[in-house]
Structure formats: structure tokens, C-alpha cells
Amino acid sequence: MTTKRVALATCSDLPALDKDDKPLIPALKDRGITAEPAVWDDASVDWAAYDLVVVRSTWDYAPRHDEFLEWADTVPNLANPASVLRWNTDKSYLRALEAADVPVIPTVWLDPARHFSKRAVHTRMPAFGDFVVKPVVSAGAKDTGRYIPISAQSRSMAITHTMRLLDSKRWVMIQPYITSVDSAGETVLIFVDGTFQHAARKNALLTGPSQPTKGLGLYVKEEMSPLTATPEQLDVAQRALDVATAELGLDKPLLYARVDLVTGEDGPLVIELELTEPSLWMAYSGPVPTLTRFADAIAARV
């Protein structure tokens, strides 16, 4: 009998996987499956030798977005598939959610091809209320900053941040900062094989302007805690996933998904739809461990 093999794709900074994913290896072994970490840009890896490739901690992809997508296109038996990764790693997917009446944070989109002047950038920033500047392709809150419009210094820093991103040919998003994050944090909802598993609370990450990221690691450290999702949050998350399924023409549920929500004046808002390489925060599972469900779902696909 040939043992099924699964690759858990990661990055060179985490060659042995993130700690949240390491328990997958013994869990899959219990199901008769050999699972092992494999660095996505390691040319020596034979991806075709695996029965399934599950993208996990590939958290260095953002500065090498095109290279990452080219890699995904070459990997057979990839979960979630390359078409999902291509759609989801560019946050303009939020436009599709908004068009389908899924509540999202209002966003101003700046195209580097339009060669905006500093004055033009200035006019597109909010006059009132804190706001956020970030690139459309990013991960781990890198190159993202929070600014205060009534402060001339803060607004100047926001313009400099925006121009730096545009000059590097990156699309830019400008969004109002949802102040409830400071007290309630973000709510992350985890789905496995199309079924909701558990929720967790993520503390606010943005306290000020974008800072140089060299030497700061792959992502901004997140503080998490268990949380019970409300019916309203579950409804918005499911609607967002339904739009993704329709947009991508999927004929089966995604192996994994995470929907990140914040609370606006009228209820939950989608801040991100994480279908590429999300932390699933399995330590914060409900009565049936997410690790168990995730391992079962992987085993069912090999």
C-alpha cells in the first residue's frame, strides 16, 4: 500500500512551519498520511510527488507576488487552487464583495499608472477621522499605517507613505479607521471545508504611521483570544464566502478560509477575506477541535 503524501507549503523563514500548523503533521500521520513542510520557492522540491499541497505559512509572498503566483500555477493538486490565490492575494476582491452588497470598509483605490501628484493624493484622503493607508497586495500588516487627518504632520506622513507605494508601482488603498477596533479588536471566523469552526478576537495592530519593515520579521505580532461569533457576524462571513465561490466558479468548498470582520456603525464589516495562507488559530477551537476537522478534510482530499 502506498502512503499518501501531503506538502504543507511554507517559507524559508519558517522551514518547519508556524507553531499553529505543526500539529497537522502528527494528526495526518494518525490518518495514514505523511505530511511534511516544504518551502514554496525551494527549487529542489518535487511538488508533483505530493498527492496534495496545502498552502500554509508562505508569508513572504507579498514582495514577490508575481513569482508566488507563477509558482502556484505550476503546482498540481494545490489546495486552495491557484485561481483562488490569484484572486485573493489582491485586495481589490473587496470590490466584488461590495458590488454584491456584502458590507465592507469604504475604500479609495489609487492606481499607480495614473501618476498622482502629492496634491491629488491629499484630496483623496479623509478630512475627518483617522484613516489607514496600505498597499493592495500585502500581508501581515506590513507597509500599512494609521494617520490623523487633523494633524498636518500625520497627513504629510500619510502622503509620503502613499507616494512611496505608488512610486514602487503598487496600488494603494485608503480606508477610514474603524475605531471599534481599539476596544473590540477584529473578529476572525475560521471555516474548514465550507463549515464554520470557531472565532477569535485579534487585538488592534495599527497604532501609528507605517514604519520601515526591514528586520521586523514576516508580520506584525498578533494578540489573540477566544471569542463567540454573533449571528450577524456569521451571516456576513458566509455571504462573503458565497461571493468568492460565485466569482471563482468553484464547484466544491474551499479547504480553508478565514473572514476578518470589524464592527461599524451599522454592524459587521469585512476587512479581509483570507483564502491564501491564513493563520487558523487552531488553539482557539470550539468543542470539536479545528485541528481534527482540518486533518479530516485534508485526508478526504488525498
- pTM, 2 dp: 0.89
202-216 exposure pattern, b = at least 16 Cβ within 10 A, e = fewer: bebbbeebbeebeee
**Residue pair 133/105 in contact by the 8 Å Cβ criterion:** no
Instruction: Tell me the residue length of the chain.
Output: 302
**Residue pair 62/137 in contact by the 8 Å Cβ criterion:** yes
Burial (CB < 10 A; 0-12, 13-18, 19+), residue 255, is buried
Q: How much is the pLDDT for 214?
A: 45
Contacts of 192 (CB under 8 A, 6+ apart): 255, 256, 280, 290, 293, 294, 297
In angstroms, the CA 202 to CA 186 distance is 5
Q: How much is the pLDDT for 143?
A: 83
Element (H, E) at 65: helix 65-74
Beta-carbon count within 10 A of 225 CB: 11
Report helix, strand or coil for 51.
coil
Burial (CB < 10 A; 0-12, 13-18, 19+), residue 59, is buried
Locate 268 and state its grid cell: 459587521
**Beta 131-135 vs 172-176: how paired, if at all?**
antiparallel
Report helix, strand or coil for 206.
coil
For the chain (length 302 residues), average pLDDT per consecutive 10? 90 96 97 98 97 97 95 97 97 97 96 93 91 87 85 92 93 93 92 96 67 48 83 98 97 96 95 96 84 97 96
